[in-house]
Amino acid sequence: MWPATHTLLACRNLTPNKHRLAVSVVGALGTVLMMCMQVGFRNALLDGQTVLIERLRTDLVVLSKQTRTLASPTAFSRRCLSQALAVAGVVAAQPLYSAMTTWKKPHEHGAHAIRVLAADPTAAVLLLPELERDCETLVLADEPTAALDKDAGCEVVTLLQQLATEEQVAIVLVTHDNRILDVADRIVYMVDGRSSRMS
């Protein structure tokens, strides 16, 4: 234990000049704050770079030799997937598409840069426990009315509406059929692979 006189002497050294004490405390707190920010930025950078790799459900990733980073991947022929499947011991080979784009929330100003990944949802290319947990509440419908006449198309859309209401599922519908847009709660318009506007 420190003698009481030592503690008293330390307090007297700190307290006579209140201005110097305040500056010292603010300086120490600023240093601690900067260190916490530095650790936070470092972890965010590392997590941002490794989260995709950690979530890949794969033993081997094949990239184009022109690809320098995952932020700017270069496409290559899908024949490479067939060539990979021909190798002994390979059970499956699935494509994973990656691109950077901007995302604007409907009721916010400004846009955010995001990475968009696309894969066959039935192939389980990525470990997505959130999506797997809620997969029964999500229906992906790709051009459900493309090969149908007007009456049959309306019937399919009515069935999807009933499914959404009765089973409490979310339906993501991709279409070029402007006749069925009035049933959507939200519409995202895509131009050249990018979302151009929302309504």
Q: pLDDT for 37-56, tens place per residue?
A: 988 888 877 777 777 788 88
Task: Please tell me the CATH code under which domain 128-199 is placed.
Answer: 3.40.50.300
State the Cα angle at 198 between 110 and 120, rounded to 5°: 100
The winner for highest mean pLDDT among 71-85, 135-149, 157-171 is 157-171
- Note the pLDDT of residue 33: 92
pLDDT above 80 for 169: yes
Kindly list the domain boundaries of the chain, sorted by start residue: 1-55, 56-120, 128-199
Distance CA 150, CA 148 (A): 7
φ/ψ of 196, rounded to 5, equals -95, -35
The pLDDT value recorded for residue 2 is 52
Predicted confidence (pLDDT) at residue 164 exceeds the cutoff of 80: yes
> What is the average per-residue pLDDT within 105-134?
76
Is pTM beyond 0.85? Reply is no
Instruction: Indicate the average pLDDT of the chain.
Output: 78
> What's the Cα-to-Cα distance from 176 to each of 129, 136, 144, 155, 191, rounded to whole Å?
31, 26, 10, 17, 12
More confident residue, 156 or 74: 156
- Res. 197: pLDDT tops 70: no
Q: What is the mean pLDDT of residues 69-78?
A: 72
pLDDT attached to residue 34: 92
